[in-house]
Structure 1
């Protein structure tokens, strides 16, 4: 396989991940400038770029956003198992069975069948729920990292006001932690709701996220 063919076959992931890297770098550079501006305004010495990358302020900004993204995707994967939206390209058709509902234990097994399906048992149970498991594990890890880095940033701000620092678990109980989380969570589910409803009536030719342009509004999936 040539590199050009490989790149074409993996272009969606490659481009989206490249955009992540670009915007992550932009966030780091701009956040570094904002942080040092704030330091100078409070009569404190600026810090170096790599020191900023290891700071609670940067970690908190990163992980509070990752947390909401992984929650959104994990919840969406699970909710679309049970819930439908008539006419939406994001929903299974009402009252119809789709291939995703098929029991893999009844599938015809071949050499290209994923190993957990061929093995069965515990490994199949994990594998048939692995997409949701992945996102919820990443969500949980992001929550803990948000709490740890947020506690460091929160304690730094408290120290500037002559107050004692807080630990990670104590920070989890503060309104500051939940404000940071909820302001991201609400926007993620608003975006999902907008996509689900908009795909009933609006189209994007060529995108698998859209129904065919000529499809009736009431046609689901």
Structure 2
């Protein structure tokens, strides 16, 4: 049964954007939890090194907070970027996460600049169209690189505090990116994101969630792809 739009502009806005709004609320709630618990954990580490604790405000720009936050964001952006590209070229029989095995789909057709509601880059053509055609993956990879740099920047600050405590020389951000510690942090997070890809692709072959666009219809067979 179709849902009729509300007469209230506010209620309509909330309904039409509820997925993004709820997701944002979940990010904010968990961010607050991470911030408060991370602040206490970091101060406990500083106390063990006989250093002054940070205030809540100081913790916001600390390496501990930057590293913990962007180490995870980095892997999320990488997972999404890789997944978007993998679904362009590869298929999985029976999975709702895959395009159809042998049929062309709507996303495969060439953009039509004559459509009255076509986005501006489609009408402009040339370089603008070329960039727009790949803008999703490009944006995700840029976000990945930015988060990776901030992960390294925060990690460098934490690493240098430990280095100073042990009377060892500090390193630059690029220097920290050459340490095994930085790549250990990165690879373990990247691996977990790639596990999530194969999990959702594999489970969507056999399992269902009624009303979710990430699932096939409950009565669809295992062999059906994208139905």
TM-score range, shorter chain: over 0.9
* TM score, norm. by length of structure 1: 0.96
**Distance change in 2, residues 1:38/1:217 (3 Å):** same
| Other-structure match for 2:63 | 56
| Equivalent position of 2:211 in the other structure | 206
State the distance in 2 between where 1:98 and 1:132 align: 19
Aligned pair 1:132/2:132, yes or no? no
The separation in 2 between residues aligned to 1:215 and 1:143, in whole angstroms, is 41
Tell me the TM-score normalized by structure 2. Answer: 0.94
- Is 1:100 matched with 2:89? no
The corresponding residue for 1:168 is 173
Query: Which residue does the alignment assign to 1:32?
Result: 39
Q: Does residue 1:86 correspond to 2:93, yes or no?
A: yes
Measure the CA separation in 1 of the matches of 2:184 and 2:155: 12
Runs of 4 or more consecutive aligned structure 1 residues displaced over 4 Å after TM superposition: none
Partners of 1:169 and 1:39 lie apart in 2 by 24
Matched, 1:216 2:221: yes
Counterpart-to-counterpart distance in 2, 1:109 and 1:216 = 39
- Residue correspondences, number: 219
- Structure 2 distance, partners of 1:195, 1:110, is 35
Q: Describe the SS at the equivalent of 1:155.
A: helix
Once the two structures are superposed, what CA deviation does each residue of 1:172-197 show, in whole Å capped at 9, x if it has no partner? 11000001101110001101110000
Q: 1:23 aligns with which of 13, 20, 30?
A: 30
Unaligned runs of at least 5 residues, structure 2: 1-7
Aligned to 1:13: 20
Offset of residue 157 of structure 1? 1.0
Distance 1:38 1:133 in 2: 38
Structure 1, unpaired ranges of 5+: none
Paired residue for 2:79, among 68, 72, 76?
A: 72
> CA separation in 1, counterparts of 2:93 and 2:147?
34
Residue in structure 2 matched with residue 147 of structure 1 by the alignment: 152
CA deviations 1:124-166 (Å, max 9, x no partner) are: 1111100000100000111111111111111111111111110
1:36 is displaced (CA, Å) by: 1.2
CA distance in 2, matches of 1:23, 1:11: 18
Partner of 1:185: 190
1:44 to 48, 51, 55: 51
